[in-house]
Chains A and B, each alone.
Chain A
Amino acid sequence: MKKLDILLDNKILSLIIIVICLASFLKPWLLINGILIGSLYSLGSIGLSLIYGNLKFANMAHGDFMTLSSYIALTLMMFLFPNSENSTSVGPFTFKYELLMVMPLAVIIIGFMAVILDKLIFKKLRKLNATSAAIALCSLGLAVSIRGLIQFIWGTDSARFPRESKLFWDLPFRIKIPPDMFFCSVVAVIIAIIFYLVLFKTTLGKAIRATSDNPDLARITGINTDRIILYIWFIGGILAATAGILISVQQALITPVMGWKILIPLFAAVIVGGIGNPIGALIGGILIGITGELATGWINPSYKPAVYFFVLLIVLLLRPNGILGNKGRQF
């Protein structure tokens, strides 16, 4: 029975891989788009995976952290550089130099906000020994509140960073790359690599993994796990904020629901890669991006969220521990 299961599941998996390869061969421009968009999903899902793997709950507010960072960056830009609408943009990209200056500031604000929210809410829940579902429920409440606050302050209409239209890069095989998208993907991959190095090569990263393995034992060895959890929130917040701003640049659009709408592909990427596995989340994000884009070659693009949902379902059905399985390196 078990053998049959494995066989069946390998057959379905290989079938899926064949379909994806065939589709990418037929419409390679969609594959490239998918990789580029997927790298942005990766950045969001790495932060989500970090929180999920270490604090053991699905953070429903992650998407709204992303949204908030874009609005904060926008406000900082308007406030610090009121003339940025007329300034020159960076090289072949549509965004202005000013954005690069306010981005670190907005990202750090979100990082600290995540830390404060942990102190206000999640620390208390840990003390109460709340179940992971109860903590996730609170993060859902937080998501609703943040969105309400965003809509209260900035309104429900969409916004965008000051930008200047630029030509796409034309490549063979009908591949057209908006320069912004390329920039965002490169930044996403660089940040993912930095994060990987922090996690696996520094003492802080090892302490994070130790805390994740066994918080009691970590305390016994003298690690201040409360502080480690704050670092986790800070890093998670930074990753969410960076992803949020980059996605706003790439879409040339900021809306109050952008973060909430992206939750399903992000969670799908986290589960595809195995919860708590940063490399898995990177691969998962890109795979989700590719699948979503390729699907638009044959079905109505407005069904993209449904495609992500079905990917999530298929993964839960076939590989609930992620495609790298249990053997994938965890945090």
Chain B
Amino acid sequence: MKTTPPILVAKEITAGYGNQVIIRNINLELYKSTITTIIGPNGCGKSTFLKSISGIIDPVEGRILINDIEVTNLNTFELSKMGLGYVPQSENIFPSLSVIDNLKMGGYILDNQKYKINLNKVLEMFPDLKSKLFDSASNLSGGQRQMLALSRALMLDPKIIMLDEPTAGLSPVIVDEVLDNIISLKKSSITVLLVEQNAKKALSISDKGVVFSFGKKVMEDDAKNILKNKQISKLYLGG
């Protein structure tokens, strides 16, 4: 796997809010068609890391490269053109718009033809949304919201997609459904970076696992090894 160059490289990322630094010197490399899961206790900086990659917060230090192109100083809206998709944890849809308009916004930078192609592709992947297209997005259930959020991100054919706790607050059946969707993303050669509370389930579908603690990366290994690691499983995986 190491023979192909990484698709996303984050070098020495330090970031936070205002004067408060939350994550320090984090390095991470993502490879094509893999699923990487970040686990760690609450407040360890997982979401902050995703936000700093996507440019929602500007990193204090560090560099970000996508396909060897420097993107550190790009605006958030330009990153989506570089093939980086991001689904934040909460507030990840536009509640005052209809479902179809949410998807329309997802494909905001596409021309009309490409938009129609991608819309059909996404709706095939999430047929549940088809019947709700003209409903207000605020009326969707939790699972449907996650699907809408994911399909909104997929409208732009991202090469990399970052998902922040996509299963939070969902019932177990729906959690499995969402994880199945993530596996199918990998199959369509999308690189996935996942932040999960449901660490065991997430690691079981991942290639690689990363452990954060107090704003630092403390471990990075194959997902299988992390699942086997007794200490980690005691600390973060619930025994």
17 more A-B contacts (CB under 8 A) besides A214-B94, A217-B92? Answer: A203-B104, A206-B101, A206-B104, A210-B94, A210-B97, A213-B95, A213-B97, A218-B94, A219-B75, A219-B76, A220-B76, A220-B153, A221-B77, A221-B152, A221-B155, A223-B105, A330-B96
Query: Which A residues are in CB contact (< 8 Å) with B91?
Result: 214, 217
Which chain A residue has the least Cβ–Cβ distance from B88? A217
Whose C-beta in chain A lies nearest to the C-beta of B102?
Answer: A210
- Whether A223 contacts B108 by the Cβ 8 Å rule is yes
CB-nearest residue of chain A relative to B98? A206
Render B78-106 as a binary contact track against A, CB cut-off 8 A, 1 for contact: 10110000101001111111000100111
Residues of B within 8 Å of A212, CB to CB, are 96
Contacts of B125 in A (CB 8 A): none
Interface string of A217-238 (1 = CB under 8 A from B): 1111111110000000000000
Are B81 and A213 in touch, CB under 8 angstroms?
no
Assembly CA distance A220 to B93 (angstroms): 11
Shortest CB-to-CB span from B81 to chain A, Å, is: 6
Q: Tell whether, in the assembled complex, residue A209 and residue B94 are in contact, meaning their CB atoms are under 8 Å apart.
A: yes
Q: Tell me, yes or no, whether B156 is within 8 Å of chain A by CB.
A: yes
Q: Is B179 an interface residue (CB 8 A)?
A: no
For residue B40, give the distance in angstroms from its CB to the closest CB of chain A. 23
12 chain-A/chain-B pairs, Cβ below 8 angstroms: A207-B108, A213-B97, A218-B77, A219-B56, A220-B76, A220-B77, A220-B86, A222-B78, A222-B80, A222-B81, A222-B109, A222-B156
- For A210, the chain B residues whose CB sits under 8 A away are 94, 97, 101, 105
Whether A203 contacts B108 by the Cβ 8 Å rule is yes
Nearest Cβ in chain A — how far from B32, in angstroms?
22
CB of B54 within 8 Å of the partner chain: yes
A270 to B96, CA, bound (A): 19
Within residues 175 to 223 of chain A, which ones have a CB less than 8 A from any CB in chain B?
203, 206-207, 209-210, 212-214, 216-223
Contacts from A to B (Cβ < 8 Å): 203, 206-207, 209-210, 212-214, 216-225, 329-331
Q: How far is the CB of B161 from chain A (nearest CB, A)?
A: 11
Bound complex: CA of A143 vs CA of B20, how far in Å? Answer: 36
A209 cross-chain contacts in B, Cβ below 8 A: 94, 96-97
Q: Could you tell me the distance in whole angstroms from the C-beta of B85 to the nearest C-beta in chain A?
A: 8
Q: Which of A203, A212, A219 has the most CB of B within 10 A?
A: A219
B106 pairs with A221, CB closer than 8 A: yes
A331 and B97 alpha carbons, distance in the complex (Å): 9
B-chain residues with CB within 8 Å of residue A329 when the two chains form the complex: 96
Chain B 136-184 residues near chain A, CB threshold 8 A: 152-153, 155-156
A225–B94 Cα gap in the complex (Å)?
Answer: 14
Those 3 A-B pairs whose CB atoms lie nearest each other, nearest first = A222-B80, A219-B76, A222-B109
Known: A206-B101, A217-B88. A222 touches B108 (CB 8 A): yes
The answer to whether A224 touches B97 (Cβ under 8 A) is: no
Cα–Cα distance between A107 and B65 once the two chains are bound (Å): 45
Chain B residues contacting A222 (CB-CB under 8 Å) are 77-78, 80-81, 108-109, 156
Contact B56 A220 (CB under 8 A): yes
Query: In whole angstroms, what is the CA distance A206 to B75 when docked?
Result: 21
Q: Which of B88, B96, B101 contacts A220 (CB 8 A)?
A: B88
Residue of A nearest to B104 (CB): A206
A224 touching B105 by the CB < 8 A rule?
no
| Given the contacts A203-B108, A206-B101, A225-B77, A220 and B54 also touching, CB distance less than 8 Å | yes
**Bound complex: CA A135 to CA B95 (Å):** 26
Report which of B54, B56, B75, B93 forms a contact with A224, defined as CB distance below 8 A.
B75
Bound Cα distance A145, B180 (Å): 60
B159, chain A: closest CB distance, angstroms: 14
Shortest distance in angstroms between B111's beta carbon and chain A's nearest beta carbon? 12
Residues in A whose Cβ lies below 8 Å from that of B93: 217
Instruction: List, in ascending order, chain A residues with CB within 8 A of B156's CB.
Output: 221-222
Q: Which residue of B lies closest to A212 (CB)?
A: B96
Q: What chain B residues lie within 8 Å of A214 (beta carbons)?
A: 91, 94
Q: Which residue of A lies closest to B85 (CB)?
A: A220
Q: Which residues of A contact B77 (CB under 8 A)?
A: 218-225
A221 and B96 within 8 A (CB)? no
Cα(A254)–Cα(B88), bound, Å: 51
Please indicate the chain B residues that have their CB under 8 angstroms from the CB of A223 in the complex: 77, 105, 108
List, in ascending order, chain A residues with CB within 8 A of B104's CB.
Answer: 203, 206
Q: How far is the CB of A77 from chain B (nearest CB, A)?
A: 41
Please tell me if the beta carbons of B96 and A213 are within 8 angstroms of each other in the complex: yes
| Cα separation A203 to B107 with both chains bound (whole Å) | 11
Chain B residues closer than 8 Å to A213, beta-carbon distance: 94-97
**Which residues of B are found within 8 Å of A331, using beta-carbon distances?**
96
Q: How far is the CB of A54 from chain B (nearest CB, A)?
A: 11
Which residue of chain B lies nearest to A218 when distances are taken between CB atoms in the complex?
Answer: B105
